[in-house]
């Protein structure tokens, strides 16, 4: 009998070990007295540990056996043995309900994390779950044998692949000191407000240029703005407006010293640095929008200045839609587009609207009757082409995002 009991205990320990899971929030492993475990294919974790790790406060209602987590404007309520949970009062169905194990309430990690706006990844090889809280949306690049992770897909001239946070933490990789600011400390080329000082080597197009970043030439893509194509491999997609915007940026940035400010993601999926760019202390992203050279193009989570950008575009649209009594003056270094002595590409006049407005063809949404300068604005699929004068005659409104 003793041998049988010993065997059963050993078997239970092995089973528990097989289901053991490592849980990380960002780069930190979460230590709990009741370890995370897998139940019916779902990772369950102690309720207080997961809520507090992602910045939520939590309280427990012993009468109803319900945990309530609050973070910002989001409230999540989850009850033991109830297959329904609630996010801001809206019912959500759970594959596995909250459970009571060893006197601890454990809850589905993915459901709680995603309900609170975090990303969750899984690395099967080591059975590791990772919640991206402050690192949400951040691309990480690694090699099969390297000891570091990178924010740049071309750091130091290397070749990397995009890895999940779960893989990075489970392999114990550490931050590359050439492309990551470790613990918020500034690198020698970083100013006190965490802007990186560099020089623009060459301009690629209106919203992209090449600069030296920690000794490596990196492409830098401006956040929140989009200019027409001018160097697309498919030449049919390149436009005269794109050439104008490229010349505009080349005149103002090439060879100049600038500062780069990063948002949540330091790089995009193509390995380009994503930045707000400052010239003599003035954000160039805003300049492009103010002067009508670029349109607003925001992609979460890089939205630090989206309210400023939207205000600029709205003000620009109001000025553009108004009937000016006198045409605006042409600024220095600009020539009239239709002037017979204009011998080089230039930019449109300030206040007359964005470069896009020079085209006579517009795209009108069949659903909202809004006028767009590009056929795929906001993922629009149902539209009709017409001349801009016809659209104006019908009284259609201009889309604030692409005009």
What averages of pLDDT result for each successive group of 10 residues across the chain (403 residues)?
43 46 90 85 88 90 92 91 93 91 87 89 89 83 88 72 90 79 38 74 94 83 92 84 92 94 82 91 94 87 90 82 46 34 32 43 69 66 74 69 57
Q: In the annotation, is 195 catalytic?
A: no
Do the domain assignments include residue 117? yes
335 occurs within a structural domain: no
- The enclosing domain of 37 has a CATH number of 3.30.457.10
Last residue of a domain, one of 271, 302, 321: 321
pLDDT on residue 169: 93
Q: For the chain, how many structural domains are there in total?
A: 4
My answer on whether 276 and 301 are in the same domain is yes
Residue 171 is predicted with a pLDDT of: 93
> How far is the CA of 116 from the CAs of 26, 68, 122, 144, 378, in angstroms?
14, 12, 18, 32, 25
Q: Check whether residue 206 and residue 247 sit in a common domain.
A: yes
Query: Coil, strand, or helix at residue 122?
Result: strand
Active site residue 229: yes
SS (H, E, C) 199-239: EEEEEEECCEEEEEECCEEEEEEECEEECCCCCCCCHHHCC
In whole angstroms, what is the distance from residue 148 CA to residue 141 CA?
9
Domain edge (last residue) among 300, 321, 342: 321
Q: How far apart are CA 247 and CA 206, in angstroms?
A: 7
Return all residues near 375 (Cβ < 8 A) that are at least 6 apart: 363, 383, 385
Residues 201 and 293 in one domain: yes
pLDDT at 371: 76
* Maximum alpha-carbon separation in the chain: 104
Whether residues 107 and 26 fall in one domain = yes
On whether both 125 and 177 belong to a single domain, the answer is no
Cα-Cα-Cα-Cα dihedral sign, residues 110, 107, 24, 42: negative
* Residues whose CB falls within 8 Å of the CB of residue 117, separated by 6 or more in sequence, listed in order: 71, 74, 136
Q: Does a structural domain hold residue 165?
A: yes
If asked whether residues 99 and 122 sit together in one domain, one would say: yes
How many angstroms separate the CA atoms of 220 and 214, rounded? 13
Q: Are residues 78 and 158 in the same domain?
A: no
Q: Nearest to residue 371, comparing CAs of 395, 349, 352, 355?
A: 395
Are 219 and 272 within one domain? yes
Could you tell me if residue 255 is inside a domain?
Answer: yes
Nearest to 293 by CA among 202, 200, 338, 358: 358
What is the predicted pLDDT for the residue at 320?
60
Does residue 295 sit within a domain? yes
175 and 199 in a single domain? The answer is: no
What pLDDT shows up at residue 72? 84
**Which pLDDT belongs to residue 402?**
59
Q: Do 269 and 384 share a domain, yes or no?
A: no
Do strands 42-46 and 104-108 pair parallel, antiparallel, or not at all (unpaired)? antiparallel
Residue in 48, 110, 171, 229 annotated catalytic: 229
Q: Are 198 and 317 found together in one domain?
A: yes
Full domain range(s) for residue 144? 140-183
285: domain CATH number is: 2.40.50.90
Position 347 in a domain: no
Catalytic residue among 48, 110, 195, 272: 272
Q: DSSP states of 144-184 as a string?
A: SS-SEEBSSTTGGG---EEE-HHHHHHTT-EE-TTTS-GGG
Residue pair 362/279 in contact by the 8 Å Cβ criterion: no
Query: Are the CB atoms for 129 and 24 separated by under 8 Å?
Result: yes
Q: Which of 171, 221, 316, 388 is catalytic?
A: 221
Active site residue 367: no
């Amino acid at each position: 009998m003793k041998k049988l009991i010993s065997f059963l205990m050993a078997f239970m320990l092995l089973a528990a070990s097989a289901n053991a899971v490592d849980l990380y929030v960002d780069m930190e492993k979460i230590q709990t007295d009741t370890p995370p475990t897998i139940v019916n294919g779902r990772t369950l974790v102690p309720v207080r540990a997961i809520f507090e790790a992602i910045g939520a406060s939590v309280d427990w209602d012993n009468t109803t056996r319900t945990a309530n987590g609050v973070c910002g404007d989001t409230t999540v309520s989850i009850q033991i043995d109830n297959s329904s949970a609630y996010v801001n009062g809206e019912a959500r169905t759970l594959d596995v309900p909250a459970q009571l194990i060893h006197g601890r309430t454990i809850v589905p990690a993915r459901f709680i994390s995603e309900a609170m706006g975090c990303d969750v990844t899984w690395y099967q090889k080591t059975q590791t779950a990772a919640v991206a809280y402050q690192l949400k949306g951040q691309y990480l690049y690694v090699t099969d044998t390297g000891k570091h992770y990178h924010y740049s897909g071309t750091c130091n001239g290397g070749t990397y692949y995009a890895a999940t946070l779960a893989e990075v933490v489970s392999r114990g990789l550490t931050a590359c000191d050439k492309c990551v600011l470790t613990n918020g400390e500034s690198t020698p080329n970083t100013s006190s407000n965490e802007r990186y000082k560099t020089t623009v080597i060459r301009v690629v197009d209106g919203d992209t240029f090449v600069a030296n970043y920690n000794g490596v030439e990196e492409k830098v893509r401006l956040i929140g703005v989009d200019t027409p194509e001018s160097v697309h491999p498919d030449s049919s997609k390149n436009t005269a407006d794109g050439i104008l915007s490229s010349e505009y940026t080349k005149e103002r940035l090439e060879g100049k010293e600038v500062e780069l400010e990063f948002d949540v993601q330091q790089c995009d999926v193509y390995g380009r640095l994503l930045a707000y760019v400052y010239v003599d202390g003035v954000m160039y992203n805003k300049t492009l929008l103010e002067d009508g050279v670029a349109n607003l193009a925001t992609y979460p989570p890089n939205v630090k200045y989206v309210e400023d950008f939207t205000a600029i575009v709205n003000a620009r649209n109001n000025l553009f839609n108004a009937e000016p009594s006198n045409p605006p003056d042409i600024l220095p270094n600009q020539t009239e587009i239709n002037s017979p002595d204009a011998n080089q590409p230039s930019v449109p006049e300030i206040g007359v609207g964005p470069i896009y407005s020079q085209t006579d063809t517009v795209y009108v949404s069949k659903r909202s009757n809004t006028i767009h300068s590009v056929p795929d604005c906001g993922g629009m699929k149902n539209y009709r082409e017409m001349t801009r004068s016809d659209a104006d005659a019908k009284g259609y409104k201009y889309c604030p995002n692409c005009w």
